[in-house]
Amino acid sequence: MARVKGGTASINRHKKVLKLAKGYMGRSNNCFRIALQRLEKALRYAYRDRRNKKRDFRGLWIQRINAAARLHGLTYSKMIGGLKIAGITLDRKVLADIAVKDAAAFGKIAEQAKAALSKKAA
């Protein structure tokens, strides 16, 4: 049996890695070994940060809701508690969007949350 050399396969593998490493600095975009290391690390970061992005955005939404709620005399936790009591089911993403884009509508929502809290306290 003839000896099989992996020339075509390795050239294709190298081309695939170097194509993905386009835009990297220095030798990281044209030397296979270095490109492979950089690419593996980049893919690890991408995998990890796809999960972290969800965390980061939830934190951002909470900060925006808290800032808008404080303008109406509520804290974030009281606002969310009041909304639960009032039976208003808006998620944090939508609430934050309303707080940024439509302050008047957020004010009405905040008033409903306040009313629900005062009704519960009485």
Predicted pLDDT at 115? 94
Predicted pLDDT at 10? 92
pTM: 0.77
Task: Enter the tokens of residue 37.
Answer: 């290391």
Which domains does the chain show, CATH number per domain? Answer: 7-121 (1.10.1900.20)
Segment-wise mean pLDDT, segments of 10 residues, the chain, 122 residues: 85 96 95 97 97 97 96 94 93 96 95 93 76
List helix spans (H) across 72-102: 76-86, 92-101
Predicted pLDDT at 22? 95
For residues 10 and 36, what is the distance between their CA atoms, to the nearest angstrom?
13
**Residue 72 — φ and ψ, nearest 5°?**
-110, 15
Q: Dihedral (C-alpha) 29, 35, 39, 42: value to the nearest 10 degrees?
A: -70
Q: Are 17 and 30 in contact (CB under 8 A)?
A: no
